[in-house]
Every structure is written in C-alpha cells, then in structure tokens.
Amino acid sequence: MNLVEHIKLPILKEMELFEEKFKESMLSKVPLLNRITYYIVRRKGKQMRPMFVFLVAKMVSNGGFDERTYRGASVVELIHTATLVHDDVVDDSNMRRGFFSVNALWKNKIAVLVGDFLLSKGLLLSIDNEDFDLLKLISIAVREMSEGELLQIEKARKLDITEAIYFDIIRKKTATLIAACCGIGAASVGANKDTVQQMRKFGEYIGIAFQIKDDLFDYSDEKIGKPTGIDIKEQKMTLPLIHTLNTCSKKEKAWLINSIKKHNKDKKRVKEVISFVKENGGIEYTITKMYDYKKRAIAILENYPDSEYKKSLLAMIEYVVERKI
C-alpha cells in the first residue's frame, strides 16, 4: 500500500461515495459534454483536494460528517477541474497526467466551453443547496488563482520578482485552493469562524510547501516526469533562483539574468544555471523555507486532539514535502 492510499484509509467509504456523487454533479443533457466529462473522470489524479475536505471535516468535528461535506468536495473538484482544462488552453499544453488534454482532443473552443460548464456546475451546486458559506470560500480561491497567474505573467516579462512577490504568487496560484479545501471541510460540518480560518491557514501553509517542492524538482537529478530546467526554459522565477540572484555578485547576477532572458533554450547554458544555483546555496535555502512551512502547518494541528484523521493529515504534510513527483 502506498502512502496516499494509507492516508485515505480513515475516509475510504466517504471517498468511494464521493466519486459517485462527483460523477453525478457533472451530468448534462448534451452527449458531447458527457463524453468529455467521462474522459476527465477516468483520468483523475490522486484526489488530494477532496481528501483534505474530508479529513479536515472529520478532524474538527471528532468524526462527524454532513451531506454538505460531499457537496463541498464536489464544488472544489469541479472548480479545480475547470481551472485545469482552462490552464491547458492557456499553456497550449497537449498532455495532462500522461493523457491527452481536452484541448488536444477536442480543440480550444470546446475546452474553454467545457471549463465554463464545470465552473457553472460548481457554482450552481452551492447555490441550489444554499451553501453560501462554501461558495464564498471557493470564490475567493478562484479570484486569487486568476490574480496569481496574471501577477506571474506580468513579473516574468521583467524578471523582477522579489522573494515577497514570489510568495504572494504561489500563495495565490497554488496554496489558495488547498486553503479553500480545508476551510470548506471545516465549514461543512458547522465549525465556528475561527476554526474555519485556522483550517484555511493550515491549507495555505501546506499549499506553499507543495509549490516550493515543485520548484525544487526543476533542480533534481532524479527522473520525475518533469524535465529538469523546464522552469528556467519557461523563464519562471522560482525560489532557488530568486535567492541566488539576491546573494550573488553584480557580475554573476547580470550573467544569470542574461542566461534566462536570452539563452533559456540553450541546454548547456540551462545546465550551467542549475549548477550555479546549486553551488550558491539556492537549494539549501529553499529546502529550509519548505520545512518552515511544514512546521507551521504541524503547529496548527497541535491544537486538535489525536485521531486517525489528524494522523492522516500529518502524513499528508509529510507526503507533500517528501514526494518524488
């Protein structure tokens, strides 16, 4: 049994039932839409986001549960899937999780419309059931994800990202959705505002650690499914690079910026940049920051009594920072 399956054990029944409810939430009277959503469901990922919803709901309510929790998890997954479909169009990407993306098979126009359909399904699921508190949490996440993407595009043009801006980008781009999952999990079982806010913060810290780990893969020697140096080739400013730019000499900084701006497609030059970042402490610094966010997430869980759900959430934190892909 792998770690993710082990984490899922306390919520196995809920996850199985959720899969059925999630499929139902995607149904349409248009056959083409049903074909596409069936294709999307078949190539699902690890489903970490619904897992966060269920584990947090169970932990804060001492094992309690509510039908609203299923709806909360479905809303998160519908909105998340919509953003992935749209992201593949924006990035002109033909692959997603080793399969052809929706836009690769059905072209951009249909992919954009499918994303819009999934977004509306998520919103209506909350509105029809008057889950306005859950709707607010997910709407904040959608707004912030859009802002984060646009902020990254704006800054990538000038390569003037400071560490503070970098953290603002990843908090909005990646962490805000995991924060929404944890907040929705708590809110779905009637937790008070302070608990919901605390769980949002917990999700945010894990989300930031998750993205930092992703950034580290760009400098990894291991085969992970993502080519080494891809962020540099795409001129993405990640934490190892930002730290190195802030600590090296003026001459070295000019060479680094020139490499990223004008030689980012040169494999030899990209390798030289990776080596320079490694030699100048960029990786060690980034790992320290990742573990700092891991500690912050663990500190929040210390406020809750021991349970199998808390244990799984602690294992989830461990998985996020130690995963190989």
Residue 101: the pLDDT is: 82
Instruction: Indicate the pLDDT class of residue 224, thresholds 50, 70 and 90.
Output: very low
Report the residue count for the chain: 325
**Which H or E run includes 4?**
helix 3-8
Specify which residues 296 forms β-bridges with.
none
Widest Cα–Cα separation across the chain: 62
Neighbours of 108 (CB within 10 A): 14
- Higher-confidence position of 54 and 63: 54
Q: Which of residues 300 and 268 earns the better pLDDT score?
A: 300
Q: Which of 91-105, 252-266, 271-285 has the lowest mean pLDDT?
A: 91-105
Mean pLDDT over 149-164 rounds to 83
Residue 229 has pLDDT above 80, yes or no: no
Identify whether the C-beta of residue 286 lies closer than 8 Å to the C-beta of residue 246. Answer: no
Residue 34, both tokens: 């049903």
Report residue 12's pLDDT band, with 50, 70 and 90 as the boundaries. Answer: very high
Around Cβ 267, how many Cβ atoms within 10 Å?
A: 10
Among residues 163, 126, 156, which one has the least CA distance to residue 141? 126
**DSSP one-letter string for 245-303:** HHHS-HHHHHHHHHHHHHSTT-HHHHHHHHHHHHHTTHHHHHHHHHHHHHHHHHHHHTT
Q: Is residue 324 pLDDT above 70, yes or no?
A: yes
Alpha carbon distance, N-terminus to C-terminus of the chain: 17
Predicted pLDDT of residue 228: 65
Q: What is the pLDDT of residue 167?
A: 96
Q: Using CA atoms, how far apart are residues 323 and 124, in angstroms rounded to an integer?
A: 35
Quote the CA–CA distance of 111 and 106 in Å, as a whole number. Answer: 7
Kindly write down the DSSP assignment for every residue of 170-226, as one continuous string. Answer: HIIIIIHHHHHHHHHHHHHTT--HHHHHHHHHHHHHHHHHHHHHHHHHTT--S--SS
Q: Which residue has the tokens 């690079």?
A: 241
Average pLDDT over residues 185-202: 97
Q: What percent of the chain has pLDDT over 90?
A: 57
Average pLDDT in the 76-91 region?
86
Rounded to whole angstroms, the Cα distance separating 221 from 217 reads 8
pLDDT at 325: 67
- Spacing of C-alpha 13 from chain mean position: 24
Q: List strand residue ranges (DSSP E) for 42-196, in order.
A: 95-96, 99-100
Instruction: Report the mean per-residue pLDDT for the chain.
Output: 89
- What's the pLDDT band for 225 if we cut at 50, 70, 90? very low
**How far from 230 is each of 37, 267, 295, 299, 311, CA to CA, in Å?**
30, 10, 29, 34, 35
Please determine, for residue 226, whether its predicted confidence score (pLDDT) is greater than 70.
no
CA-to-CA dists, residue 232 to 8, 32, 156, 167, angstroms: 35, 38, 11, 18
pTM for the structure as a whole:
0.91
CA–CA separation, 236 vs 155, rounded Å? 9
Stretch 50-59: mean pLDDT? 96
Q: Which of 6, 74, 90 is nearest to 41 (CA)?
A: 74
Per the CB < 8 A criterion, the answer to whether 172 and 29 are in contact is no
- Outline where DSSP puts E strands in 49-150: 95-96, 99-100
